[in-house]
Amino acid sequence: MKVPHLNDTVKAAPAAPAVPAAPAASAAGPRPSFAALRNPGYRMHFATYTLAMMADNIEHVISYWMVHEKFHSPALGGFAVISHWLPFLLFSVLTGALADRFDPRRIIQCGMALFITASLGWGYFFITDSLQMWHAMLLLTIHGCAGVLWQTSSQLLLHDIVGPADLASAVRLNATARYLGVLVGPAVGGVIMLTLGPKHGILLNTCFYLPLVLWLINAPYGPKFRKGAEAPKRAVRGFSDITQTIRDIAGNRLLVSMILLSGGASFLVGNAYQAQMPEFAHDLGHGDPGVAYSMLLAADACGALIAGFLLESRGLLKPSPRTALILAMCWCVALAAFAAVHVYALALAILFAAGFLELSFNSMTQALVQVNAPGPIRGRVIGLFNMASLGMRAFSGISVGLIGAMIGVHWSLALSALILLTVMAILLLRFRARPAVS
């Protein structure tokens, strides 16, 4: 198997305007701070995306709590994780193919409709006190499918909103908005539960999805607003689109490298360590485990938020495959260190650094994929990237969680991080050993 070279020039399809536009943007000099936010359309997208992300996390807080109180089932909790990520593994490329052929705005609205359906469903079963386990499993599955329709199509729409010049800024700000939703959503969800109660609070949550739905009705983006000749529309072939997309990009070494990097990180580590935070908090032995647990999660999310704002304001870490790989290696070192430490304050600092590094390399890999994806199949390529970066997280529960049940979560997290670090170090050494190909 031929190892892709990170310095190779990307050979994009002739119909893709994004590839030649990127060098022109860099040649014009450094981009201003928060470049994407200077675009009025992106400001609306950012605000509505953040609200929807907050609503997504509010629903998690309320529904997970009520399901736990009703069933006390660890197995159902595990199903909640699987149902959240498995749709990304199965349907990301299919969603990207649909977004290539049809208007991504309408696909996003379909995703919001599923989110609203899930919240209304929870509200009905909570109010009537008729929730059964199969109801919960169905609603969790609907919520997971809504996520893949939303995220994949939103990434494709970003290219229409800001263009290739500010795409890296938009991707990084979107990643920041995601972590902002992770931080703010549980807090708002807790306040709603205390004031309105979970039964009515989950119904109120549907309102937070509506701004995105309404804005997209007439937002001037999508296929009919694109300049130049329209890319030929390909038939949507379902799961066969996965193998076809892999064949289509097999010769594009940058895309292959970034998708492999993101998929490997998700498969071996992902965010599975966050589900084990209660045990880490208990083992660190600092005060009340509940408070310690919340602070550990907050440290990871705060590190990511600071990364987004700092990197955007300073224009640091320009996207490059080599930089993304080195940042991911540093992330592995941080997670291995977190698994090894026994001092709570030090663990908080390391998790802050891990969150900073995770947002940095994840947003960079996504930006590189979106900028360099061939225009006619951009949605499919973004779908393949999401399949690797998000869908593969379903398996990280095995490497960190299941193996952690046998050898302890400290050892399983450290081992997974070190295996990933070794793989990436070997790739980096081989890339450096080979001369650049013109």
pTM assigned to the model = 0.80
If you average pLDDT over residues 312-333, what whole number do you get? 87
Q: Is the pLDDT of residue 24 over 80?
A: no
- The residue that leads in pLDDT, 246 or 2, is 246
pLDDT of residue 286: 59
- Reference 271, options 55, 85, 93, 77; nearest CA is 85
Say how many residues make up the chain: 438
Q: 214 pLDDT exceeds 70? A: yes
**pLDDT at residue 211 is higher than 50:** yes
Mean per-residue pLDDT of the chain: 83
Model pLDDT, residue 68: 79
pLDDT score, position 43: 94
What pLDDT does 10 receive?
A: 38
Task: HSE, CB side, 13 Å, CA atoms: give it for residue 150.
Answer: 26
How confident is the model at residue 283, as a pLDDT?
Answer: 82
Question: At residue 27, does pLDDT exceed 80?
Answer: no
Of the candidate ranges 14-18, 206-210, 275-279, the one whose mean pLDDT is the lowest? 14-18
Residue 376 has pLDDT above 50, yes or no: yes
Let me know how many helices (H) and strands (E) the chain has, helices first.
Answer: 19, 0
Q: What's the pLDDT band for 5 if we cut at 50, 70, 90?
A: very low
Is the confidence at residue 3, as pLDDT, over 50?
no
Mean pLDDT (whole number) for 362-373: 88
Q: Per CATH, the architecture of 250-438 is what?
A: Up-down Bundle (1.20)
pLDDT at 45: 96
- The answer to whether residue 255 scores a pLDDT higher than 80 is yes
Looking at residue 74, what is its pLDDT? 67
Architecture per CATH, 37-223: Up-down Bundle (1.20)
Q: What is the model's pLDDT at position 340?
A: 92
Q: Are 7 and 431 in contact (CB under 8 A)?
A: yes
| DSSP structure class, residue 232 | P
Report the first-to-last Cα separation within the chain, whole angstroms. 20
pLDDT of residue 18: 37
Distance between CA atoms of residues 82 and 394, nearest Å: 6
The residues, any chain, with a CB within 8 Å of residue 254's CB and separated by 6 or more, are 4, 6, 8, 10, 321, 368, 372
pLDDT tens digits, 187-199 = 788 888 888 988 9
Whole-angstrom distance, CA of residue 138 vs CA of residue 114: 12
Question: What is the arithmetic mean of pLDDT over 79-87?
Answer: 85
What dihedral angle (degrees, nearest 10) is formed by the CA atoms of 363, 369, 375, 377?
-110
Assess contact for 84 and 140: CB atoms under 8 A. yes
pLDDT per residue as tens digits for the range 123-159? 999 999 999 999 999 999 999 999 999 999 999 899 8
| pLDDT one-digit tens code per residue, 325-350 | 999 999 999 999 999 998 988 999 99
Helices (H), 269-408: 272-275, 277-284, 289-314, 321-340, 344-372, 378-386, 393-396, 403-407
Highest mean pLDDT among 40-44, 173-177, 276-280: 40-44
Tell me, rounded to whole angstroms, the distance of Cα 262 from its chain centroid: 10
- pLDDT range class, residue 245, cuts 50, 70, 90: very high
Residues of the chain with CATH 1.20.1250.20: 37-223, 250-438
**pLDDT tens for each residue of 46-63:** 999 999 999 998 998 888
pLDDT band at 2 (very low <50, low <70, confident <90, very high): very low
The per-residue pLDDT for range 259-301, each reduced to its tens digit, is: 989 999 998 888 777 767 767 877 887 555 556 667 887 888 8
pLDDT at 418 over 80: yes
Q: Do 361 and 324 contact (CB within 8 A), yes or no?
A: yes
Percent of the chain with pLDDT over 90: 38
Burial 335-355 (b: 16+ CB within 10 A, else e): bbbbbebeebeebbbbbbbbb
**pLDDT value for 433:** 56
Residue 6 banded pLDDT, cuts 50, 70, 90: very low
Predicted confidence at residue 83, as pLDDT, reads 87
